[in-house]
C-alpha cells in the first residue's frame, strides 16, 4: 500500500517524509522543484506485537508496513496552471491514498508560494488542483464515449452508456467542488471507475505542518469529509526526533512535553484511512501483523500468508488479542474457551490471532 505525500511548494513535504520514515532526504528553504520522488517503507507501530513477543519469545517480529512517496510540490493553481506535470500525475495516480502536507508553521525565512500562511486556503487550492486533474480525464473520456456509443452493438452500448452516465454524475459533483471519495458508489460503479485512478477518489489525510510553539495546542483545522482525516505534526521537530535513539528521544520528548512522537499517530491514521486492519500470527518462529482490508473473510486472509493455505483451508483457530492477554497464555485461553474454530466465511477482526489449519 502506497501513500503519496503531496502539498504546495515548501509546505514541508520532505521534512514530514523524513519524520515518518526516519529518513535523510534533503530539504531546502527554497522549493527544490524536484520530480524524482523519495520512497520509503515504514513499519506500522503496533504495541500488541511487543506484548506478544514477550509471551512467545519468537525469533523474529514483523510489523505491517506502508510505503510513503514524497513527490514535488503542486502549484495549487488548478486549471490555469495547465494541469499537473505528467510525471507528478503518474506518481500520485498510482498511490492508494494521499497525504496532504499543509503549511501551518510561520517562518519568514521559508517563503510561501502564496505569500502568507493560510492552511484552509491551501487545502482548498490543492483540492481544486486534484479536481481539475480528474475533470480533464472525465471530459476526454466523455467526448470519446459520446462519439463511440451510437456505433456500438446493443450489449456494449448498454455498458458504455452506464459508464457515461456515471462519469457525468462525477463531473457534476466535481464541478460543485465535491470530491469523488465523498460520493456513495455501488460496488459496480466503484469497479467501473477504478481504472481511471481518480485523484479525488483516493482517501485523504490532511497533515497540517505546525510550528514548534503549537505542538502542545495545535490550531484546529476542519476537514469533515468522508474517507478523510486530519492529523497535525510539527515536521521539523519530528524529523529531528526521528533521528534519535530511544533514550535520546525520551529526553527530547520530555523537554517538549509530549509522550509519544506524532509520527506514530500519522502512520496509524494513514493505515486506518487505507481501510486496513491487522490480523496477527504468533509462535516461536515469528510474531507478525498482516494487513488486510476491513471485512476480509478468513479464507482470503489465509491467502495473504500463502496461496496454499487459502487453497487447502480447513478452518481457522482464532483468539482475540485481548482475550489472550487476559488469559495470560494460549494454554489458559484454550482452557477458558476463548479459542474459537471459525470457517471460511468468518470475517476477521482487527487483532484476531489466527492459526489456519489447511491441507494441500
Ligand X SMILES: Nc1ncnc2c1ncn2[C@@H]1O[C@H](COP(=O)(O)OP(=O)(O)OP(=O)(O)O)[C@@H](O)[C@H]1O
Binding annotation for ATP: 10-15
Cβ neighbour number for residue 200 with a 10 Å cutoff: 23
Q: Which residues of 5-40 are buried (b: 16+ CB within 10 A; e: fewer)?
A: bbbbbbbbbbbbbbbbbbbebebeeeebebeebbbb
Q: Is 107 in the site for ligand X (CB under 6 A)?
A: yes
Tell me if 35 contacts ligand X by CB under 6 A: no
Please report, in range form, the residues annotated as the binding site: 10-15
Residue-wise burial string across 214-250, b where 16 or more C-beta atoms lie within 10 A, e elsewhere: ebeebeebebeeebbbbbbbbbbbbbebbeeeeeebe
CA proximity to 42, closest of 233, 268, 198:
268
Nearer to ligand X, 49 or 239 (CB): 239
Binding ligand X by CB under 6 A: which of 22, 32, 142, 320? 32
Cβ proximity to ligand X: between 68 and 321 the closer is: 68
CB of 26 to ligand X, least distance (A): 8
What does the alpha-carbon distance between residue 92 and residue 87 come to, in Å, rounded to a whole number? 9
Task: Using the rule CB under 6 A, give the single segment among 2-10, 158-166, 257-265, 269-277 that binds ligand X.
Answer: 2-10
State how far the Cα of 232 lies from the Cα of 124, in Å rounded to an integer.
17
**Smallest distance, Å, CB 258 to ligand X?**
14
Q: How far apart are the C-alpha atoms of 358 and 284, rounded to whole Å?
A: 19
Site membership for ligand X, residue 317 (CB under 6 A): no
- The answer to whether residues 205 and 228 touch, using CB atoms and an 8 Å cutoff, is yes
Shortest Å, Cβ 234 to ligand X: 5
211 forms part of the interface with ligand X (CB under 6 A): yes
DSSP 8-state secondary structure symbol assigned to residue 226: T
- Residue in 27, 75, 270, 296 binding ligand X, rule: CB under 6 A: 27
Query: In the complex with ligand X, which residue's Cβ is closer, 167 or 207?
Result: 207
In the complex with ligand X, which residue's Cβ is closer, 213 or 336? 213
Q: Which is nearer to ligand X, 86 or 293 (CB)?
A: 86
Residue 246 exposure: Cα atoms within 13 Å on the Cβ side: 0
User: For residues 129-148, which are near ligand X according to CB under 6 A?
Assistant: none
Using the minimum distance from each CB to ligand X, give the nearer residue, 239 or 280.
239
Backbone angles phi, psi at 103, to 5 degrees: -65, 120
325 binds ligand X (CB under 6 A): no
Q: Does 77 bind ligand X (CB under 6 A)?
A: no
Residue 33 and residue 289: Cα distance in Å, rounded? 37
Phi-psi region of 197 (alpha: psi -120 to 50; beta: other; left: phi over 0): left
Among 4, 12, 56, 174, binds ligand X (CB under 6 A): 12
The SS3 of residue 264 is helix
Query: Using the rule CB under 6 A, which residue among 105, 271, 279, 356 binds ligand X?
Result: 105
Cβ atoms of residues 273 and 240 within 8 Å: no
Q: Decide if residue 11 touches ligand X (CB under 6 A).
A: yes
Structure-block grid coordinates of residue 273: 484511512
Binding-site string for ligand X from residue 231 to residue 260, where x marks contact by CB under 6 A and - marks none: ---xxx------------------------
Binding window for ligand X (CB under 6 A); candidates: 198-206, 215-223, 229-237, 290-298: 229-237
For ligand X, which residue of 23, 37, 58, 73 counts as binding (CB under 6 A)? 73
Cβ-Cβ contacts under 8 Å for 218 (sequence gap 6 or more): 208, 210, 232
Total binding residues toward ligand X, as defined by CB under 6 A: 24
Nearer to ligand X, 30 or 186 (CB): 30
φ, ψ of residue 344 to 5 degrees: the values are -55, -40
9 binds ligand X (CB under 6 A): yes
Which positions touch ligand X (CB under 6 A)? 7, 9-15, 27-29, 31-32, 34, 72-73, 105, 107, 110, 209, 211, 234-236
Amino acid at each position: 500500500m502506497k501513500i503519496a505525500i503531496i502539498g504546495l511548494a515548501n509546505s514541508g513535504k520532505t521534512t514530514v517524509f523524513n519524520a515518518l520514515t526516519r529518513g535523510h532526504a534533503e530539504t531546502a528553504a527554497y522549493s527544490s522543484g524536484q520530480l524524482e520522488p523519495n520512497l520509503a517503507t515504514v513499519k506500522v507501530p503496533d504495541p500488541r506485537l511487543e506484548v506478544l513477543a514477550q509471551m512467545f519469545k519468537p525469533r523474529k517480529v514483523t510489523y505491517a508496513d506502508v510505503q510513503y512517496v514524497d513527490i514535488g510540490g503542486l502549484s495549487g493553481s488548478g486549471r490555469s496552471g495547465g494541469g499537473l506535470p505528467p510525471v507528478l500525475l503518474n506518481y500520485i495516480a498510482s498511490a492508494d491514498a494521499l497525504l496532504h502536507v499543509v503549511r501551518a508553521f510561520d517562518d519568514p525565512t521559508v517563503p510561501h508560494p502564496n505569500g502568507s500562511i493560510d492552511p484552509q486556503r491551501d487545502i482548498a487550492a490543492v483540492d481544486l488542483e486534484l479536481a481539475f486533474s480528474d475533470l480533464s480525464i472525465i471530459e476526454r473520456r466523455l467526448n470519446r464515449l459520446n462519439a463511440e456509443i451510437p456505433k456500438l452493438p446493443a450489449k456494449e452500448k448498454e455498458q458504455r452508456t452506464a459508464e457515461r452516465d456515471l462519469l457525468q454524475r462525477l463531473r457534476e459533483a466535481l464541478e460543485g467542488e465535491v470530491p469523488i471519495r465523498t460520493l456513495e458508489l455501488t460496488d459496480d460503479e466503484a469497479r467501473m471507475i477504478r481504472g481511471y485512478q481518480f485523484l479525488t477518489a483516493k482517501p485523504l489525510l490532511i497533515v497540517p505542518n505546525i510550528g514548534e510553539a503549537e505542538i502542545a495546542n495545535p490550531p484546529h483545522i476542519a476537514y469533515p469529509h468522508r474517507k478523510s482525516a486530519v492529523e497535525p505534526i510539527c515536521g521539523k521537530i519530528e524529523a529531528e526526533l526521528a533521528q534519535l535513539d530511544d533514550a535520546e528521544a525520551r529526553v527530547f520528548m520530555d523537554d517538549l512535553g509530549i509522550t509519544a512522537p506524532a509520527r506514530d499517530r500519522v502512520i496509524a491514521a494513514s493505515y486506518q484511512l487505507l481501510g486496513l486492519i491487522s490480523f496477527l500470527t504468533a509462535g516461536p518462529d515469528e510474531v507478525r501483523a498482516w494487513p488486510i482490508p476491513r471485512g476480509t473473510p478468513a479464507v482470503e486472509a489465509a491467502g495473504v500468508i500463502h496461496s496454499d493455505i487459502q487453497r487447502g483451508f480447513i478452518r481457522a483457530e482464532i483468539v482475540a488479542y485481548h482475550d489472550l492477554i487476559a488469559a495470560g497464555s494460549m494454554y489458559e485461553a484454550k482452557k477458558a474457551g476463548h479459542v474459537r474454530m471459525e470457517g471460511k466465511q468468518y470475517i476477521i477482526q482487527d487483532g484476531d490471532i489466527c492459526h489456519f489449519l489447511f491441507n494441500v
